[in-house]
């Protein structure tokens, strides 16, 4: 193993960086798949996560995409509030792991795992789904209205205005 690591350390820095990025991407994809597989059997335990995912979708669709400057600022303020909260929780766990490092390696592993969990929750707020970005305007604003009905009982007037405007606008045909 040390021979393998020394061989990699002899490679050019750019190749090492590309390899590290590729390994990180693969690990991220594997963790995403593992999370999806693990969340199905847990059922009700994933309900708060699903509600937060719907909240992230609503904030992204309503405030940080296809809206004016004021909405964009509001959306990013709300998003980064959640990002900062989860990052701080992760950093607290890292600090606790460092403080308790002399007592037990198991404790450090638990604290580091908790920190990674919160770091991934923070990352989730920064990465919108491709589906949220690819809808046509009528479908996009209709989804915003659905989410507002789910959260607040009825859609906002400005959302309904955007749904009506998107429905009235001629649709662009996509090239084949």
pLDDT tens-place string over residues 59-71: 888 888 766 666 7
The predicted structure's pLDDT at residue 47? 74
Q: Are 120 and 31 in contact (CB under 8 A)?
A: yes
pLDDT greater than 80 at residue 157: yes
Chain centroid to CA 68 = 22
Region 141-165 average pLDDT: 90
| Farthest-apart Cα atoms in the chain, separation | 67
The predicted structure's pLDDT at residue 87? 95
pLDDT tier at 100, thresholds 50, 70, 90:
confident
Claim: this prediction has a pTM higher than 0.75:
no
The predicted structure's pLDDT at residue 68? 63
From CA 48, how far away is CA 56, in angstroms rounded?
A: 12
Q: Are 108 and 101 in contact (CB under 8 A)?
A: yes
pLDDT mean across residues, the chain:
84
């Amino acid at each position: 193993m040390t021979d393998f690591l020394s061989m990699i350390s002899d490679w050019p820095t750019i190749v090492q960086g590309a390899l590290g990025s590729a390994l990180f991407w693969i690990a991220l994809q594997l963790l995403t798949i593992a999370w999806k597989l693990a969340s199905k059997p847990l059922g009700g335990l994933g309900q708060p996560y699903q509600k937060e995912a719907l909240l992230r979708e609503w904030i992204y669709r309503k405030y940080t995409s296809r809206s004016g400057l004021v909405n964009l600022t509001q959306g990013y303020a709300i998003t980064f509030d959640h990002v900062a909260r989860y990052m701080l929780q992760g950093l607290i766990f890292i600090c606790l792991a460092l403080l308790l490092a002399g007592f037990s390696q198991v404790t450090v592993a638990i604290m580091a795992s908790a920190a990674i969990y919160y770091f991934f929750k923070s990352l989730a707020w920064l990465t919108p789904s491709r589906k949220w970005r690819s809808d046509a305007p009528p479908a996009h604003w209709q989804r915003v209205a659905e989410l507002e009905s789910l959260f607040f009982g009825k859609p906002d007037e400005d959302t309904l205005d955007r749904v009506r405007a998107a429905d009235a606008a001629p649709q662009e045909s996509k090239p084949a």
